[in-house]
Amino acid sequence: MEIVLHALPHEMATIGGAAVGTFLISNSAHGIKHALKDMPKVIKGAKFKKADYMDILTLMFQLLKLAKNKGTVAIEPHIEKPSESPIFQAYPKITHDHFAQDLICDYLRMVSMSQDDPHQVEDIMEREIKAFHGEGLHVSHAFQGMADALPALGIVAAVLGVVKTMGSLNEPPPVLGKMIGGALVGTFLGVLLAYGIFGPIATRLQGIYDDEIKFYHVIRVIITAHLHGQAPQISVETGRKAISHEYMPSFAEVEEKLNALPPV
């Protein structure tokens, strides 16, 4: 253990510095910023919980019911200036998610402009959501790339240690043993960091991004159902069925929440 502890700082500096350099070179400034911002998600998990799915169902119901009762012109003030809309402002977490807010406003705006082909709108939404998802996955791929490189970087550090040892062959065996043992710590450290830390981080982030993207697909499903001529209640129920079972509110919970809404 003494050999490991003695060699650890030097090997960590070599491997860690090379890993950070690899990460910086292989990613854009935007990707690096995104990766650092999303690191807390490894502990916190996905940002959308059951209450947030209930909120998106309620928000969409209010907008679609308003459009059905008073025409699409009635929702224009809300989708043009959501920051001033009492409907949107009742759900601050959704309004703070700019992609979710833009997704709702942009495609309801298309509906108000008589773009009522559900298949075309669904296809456009699907492509936009897929592109957004790809941006998130780039972060997990960046960490996976680092994890893939770490074992090789550990071997490089170990070889450097062996080269240093070769220059000290005149030393007694106990000294050479410590030097060779210290060199092998690099291999151990590279494998440990790859498969014990950065690999799991990459897998965890990918799972979180896959989980979060489902929230935006719920919006897509509801708007598409509305374009197919479904009533607001049916459109929202269709969206509810698109929620994963972990976060899906029951039919009774949604009905109770919708019945408690003020009339529009």
What average pLDDT does the segment 6-21 reach?
A: 82
Confidence of residue 177 (pLDDT cuts 50, 70, 90): confident
Q: How high is the mean pLDDT of the chain?
A: 90
Question: In this predicted structure, what is the pLDDT of residue 256?
Answer: 94
pLDDT above 70 (res 3)? no
Spatial separation of the C-alpha atoms in residues 167 and 214, rounded to whole Å: 58
Residue 230 in this model has a pLDDT that exceeds 90: yes
pLDDT of residue 126: 95
Model confidence at 4, pLDDT cuts 50, 70, 90, reads low
Question: Which range in 68-72, 135-139, 240-244 is most confidently predicted, on average pLDDT?
Answer: 240-244
Cα dihedral 44, 47, 53, 58 sign: positive
Angle, CA 135 vertex, CA 154 and CA 100 arms, to 5°:
140
Task: Give 264's pLDDT tier (boundaries 50, 70, 90).
Answer: low
- Rounded to 5°, the CA angle 23-28-29 comes to 100
Q: Which helix (H) or strand (E) holds 22?
A: helix 2-26
Q: Show the beta-strand stretches assigned E in the chain.
A: none
- Reported as a single tens digit per residue, the pLDDT across 34-66 is 898 999 999 999 999 999 999 999 999 999 999
Out of 74-88, 157-171, 230-244, 249-263, pick the least confident: 157-171
Determine the residue type at 214: K
Q: How far is CA 186 from CA 8, 62, 144, 159, 166, in A?
A: 8, 60, 20, 9, 17
